[in-house]
Chain A
């Protein structure tokens, strides 16, 4: 039983990281209607920036995280401006391939700058772990911070979209970008803002991911990126609470699958659950049902 609770906590912690990444995915999808495969690699860049500033230059972690958020935000907007904006009217597949190109590009740039040696990431969290039930359950500081950060981000994001002007502009663009433009919404600026927020979230996710699993390589972001993508689809792509729920569920399923079924089949189990969910609810848990027009 104690074991189960520990696994559950670990699962929620991993799920929170997935959820933060998935929030970025889902926002970008909702607005730009594109699968941003390079999102996972922005996470990796975020991790490397913190690594350079905190471990390399000795800056305090908070400053390092701030720098990382700024760098990733700028990077996200640059990627959008250079690689995606020219393709706004192009076919979906063209954008998808470009996103894959950007992903390869970021990985190889990181490889050239930092080399392939694994960097051990110093955790930015300095909270002492909580020990429950005579040490049978230990909840690490990273776990607590990750879960709390995820909840805060989720609430803040929902509030931003519901109550701020730019947030409502985002909703409008995602609903119908043509109509939104006619109503005076600056579509280009809104899309750029979405990429900026998504990338800032990626930076935070990168820091939290590397704090929990302290190995940093140019390929660190790829697999969590794909998993978060699955989480976003799981919860209903385009939906913010959906991404949150999808992320947490995915993390819990993955850890419990690893613990009780097979460590090798954990990923297969995650994907199998996804397939079952999509077959029952073809647009994910909280996705909107799209009416087909005749």
Chain B
């Protein structure tokens, strides 16, 4: 029995090392290729967004896969992280000239604010179940986006001014500066994000999530997911563990938001980047990568972000192709027919490894 446990542990450890390894390997390959100068500008420009989406996918997987709650408001936390950190960086641009320190603090601030919102949203939301939980998270995400869109915040010699109406009614002095300009957001955030920071943040995210999953806490969270009543009956504090997972997930999404905000010089909360569209896109990464499968999330986020860019030559047909790929993949992986097809022609059978039994779930 004891031996079995060690064996199982070794197996997960091995699998985790492979996950870290893939990320580090991807970084090294890209660095070497970039040094060699064979990487296109498009791909270079995509590196930071790829890191952002990987972090988002992994963090949402914590909520959806590990904790089993369908959240459609993940982009809202990203929005909180992005705006709080961009605001900080914009204000501190002169005070802290060293970009490394400033960005480090910005990440902490983004993560802290997103975590705070995670708690505030999580307490009421986690009382609900299933589709109702999904719609309420969607609602919270939209509220965050809407509220960010009415914040006008400016700074002049007399200090900060805030308005919910428009930039004009803040009554700034002529030399005052509008920092958050309502729906037009923040412009001129310093471009502090880079690939190395992105990779480090991915590794930290993975470290947090993987360790959580393999800890006592993680097992408690999964027990709640699998059978709430049974978990409760053995004395697991449901709200505490659910809220813990939700908050960590929100805070990691905030980190992704920081990365996003410091990659572009303009930051505005639109439905495309911080609305339900984005939340759904992240969910697509998680589902296609395999619910609860961390490595799958990483790969799906990378592939699905690259796909529309690689399909650019198809012009107007590329989003159509994206839609068809999405539907086809879901039917192929989840329908009984598709599963039978995979069973018959799977790589594993062709290679002749042992039979997979877990897939049947």
Contacts and interface: CB of A to CB of B under 8 A. Distances in A.
Interface of A: 29, 35, 83, 86-87, 89-98, 100-102, 104-105, 107-109, 111-112, 226, 229-230, 233, 237, 262, 264-265, 267-268, 271-272, 274-275, 278-279, 282-284, 292, 294
B132 A98 contact: no
A86 B336 contact: yes
5 contacts: A86-B335, A87-B335, A91-B291, A97-B284, A97-B287
A274 B135 contact: yes
A282 B229 contact: no
Contacts of B142: 267-268, 271
A267 to B, nearest CB: 5
A199 B39 CA distance: 48
A273 to B, nearest CB: 9
Contact of B124 (A89, A265, A275): A275
Nearest to A268: B146
B136 A98 contact: no
Contact of A105 (B183, B324, B338): B324
B131 A233 contact: yes
A104 B138 CA distance: 19
B27 interface: no
A233 B132 contact: yes
A100 B320 contact: no
Interface stretch (B84-92, B206-214, B257-265, B325-333): B325-333
A237 B330 contact: no
B131 A237 contact: yes
Interface residues of B, number: 47
B283 interface: yes
Contacts of A86: 331, 335-338
Contacts of B334: 87, 90-91, 94
Contacts of A271: 139-140, 142-143, 146
A268 B320 CA distance: 31
A282 B134 CA distance: 12
Given A96-B283, A97-B283, A265-B150, 16 more contacts: A86-B336, A90-B330, A94-B287, A98-B326, A98-B327, A100-B280, A101-B330, A104-B326, A107-B319, A108-B323, A230-B135, A233-B131, A264-B150, A268-B142, A271-B142, A284-B132
Nearest to B65: A93
A124 to B, nearest CB: 29
Interface string B121-133: 0001001110110
A250 to B, nearest CB: 12
B270 interface: no
Contacts of B187: none
Interface in B68-104: 70
A280 to B, nearest CB: 11
Contacts of B323: 101-102, 104-105, 108
Nearest to A263: B150
B356 interface: no
A234 to B, nearest CB: 9
Contacts of B246: none
A278 B164 contact: no
A251 to B, nearest CB: 17
A274 B139 contact: yes
A87 B142 CA distance: 29
Nearest to B335: A86
Give the 4 A-B residue pairs with the shortest CB-CB distance, closest first. A101-B326, A86-B335, A104-B323, A271-B139
Contacts of A95: 330
Interface string B298-336: 000000000000000000110110111011001101111
B288 interface: yes
Nearest to B361: A91
Contacts of A89: 335-336
B128 to A, nearest CB: 5
Contacts of B280: 100
Among B128, B319, B323, which residue has the most Cβ atoms of chain A within 10 A? B323
B142 to A, nearest CB: 5
Contacts of B221: none
B182 to A, nearest CB: 8
